[in-house]
Homo-oligomer: A and B are copies of this chain.
């Protein structure tokens, strides 16, 4: 394993007030993706012989299987309401701390004032940009903190009475922290990142997605660059939108525009082909 990857293994990336994510182990890197892709191409790959170009080609054309050849394992500490969103990504392996086997630790997520915001008016599933007035924000924090203290007080009281852990824990709040080991391949991890970095994702999971993104820039820099170009910062137009675009795109780009924006050879040709179809 290369030194710069070795360096981030085990490193704790702090997330939220008590959470973290750390890379436990990784199998493979950009070179492993190229190696797997080349098996498919066999003898026939003389012309696609540059790693960056091949990775960009694979990403652009959604040849996803070589990206599945890299596997990453994380140790994550996160609030349960985030764990519930996270686990919806099914193509992954998980070992979670068990509240049936072990006593839950008295640690809950308390949002900063900055994150105690009003319900969004136009986005039914999210918070707006607007925070509560400071006084009300403080009141909410107090409500939350008292609720958490109360729930853990009751929990401990029940445990002391001898109540089974699996019963005593049923009233713990969704803000309680849990921990797990989580293992996933790079293709599915990028899918997770795309969904959870999105502005519609809940802030508290976005924080973890951002930490993973930081790691991926180190572990698979070529893949990350291609992912940004072709997936994260791409724009998708529907059939109807394309029909409108045809009317407002009045000129084809000249060579200088392509050059200046980094579109060369294959990528430039494919772009012009797309625009041609718009005409």
Which of the four size classes fits the interface of chain A? 35 or more
CB 8 Å contact bits of A150-176 with B (1 = contact, 0 = none): 110010011101111111011111110
Q: Does A247 contact B241, Cβ atoms closer than 8 Å?
A: no
A260 CA / B163 CA spacing, docked (Å): 41
A148 within 8 A of B: yes
A10 within 8 A of B: no
Could you say which residues of chain B place their CB within 8 Å of the CB of A166? Answer: 125-127, 202
Distance to closest chain B CB from A90 (angstroms):
4
Q: Does A69 contact B95, Cβ atoms closer than 8 Å?
A: yes
Return the chain B residue nearest A85 by Cβ. Answer: B100
Distance to closest chain B CB from A107 (angstroms):
13
**Further 20 A-B residue pairs, CB within 8 A, beyond A39-B179, A119-B164:** A42-B101, A69-B183, A71-B71, A71-B183, A88-B94, A100-B125, A111-B170, A115-B167, A125-B166, A127-B166, A143-B158, A144-B171, A147-B171, A150-B150, A174-B174, A230-B238, A234-B242, A237-B274, A244-B258, A248-B251
- Listed by A's residue number, 18 A-B pairs whose Cβ atoms lie within 8 Å are A25-B28, A35-B181, A37-B95, A42-B103, A43-B103, A68-B93, A81-B169, A98-B125, A117-B164, A166-B202, A170-B174, A171-B175, A233-B239, A241-B261, A244-B263, A247-B257, A248-B257, A250-B250
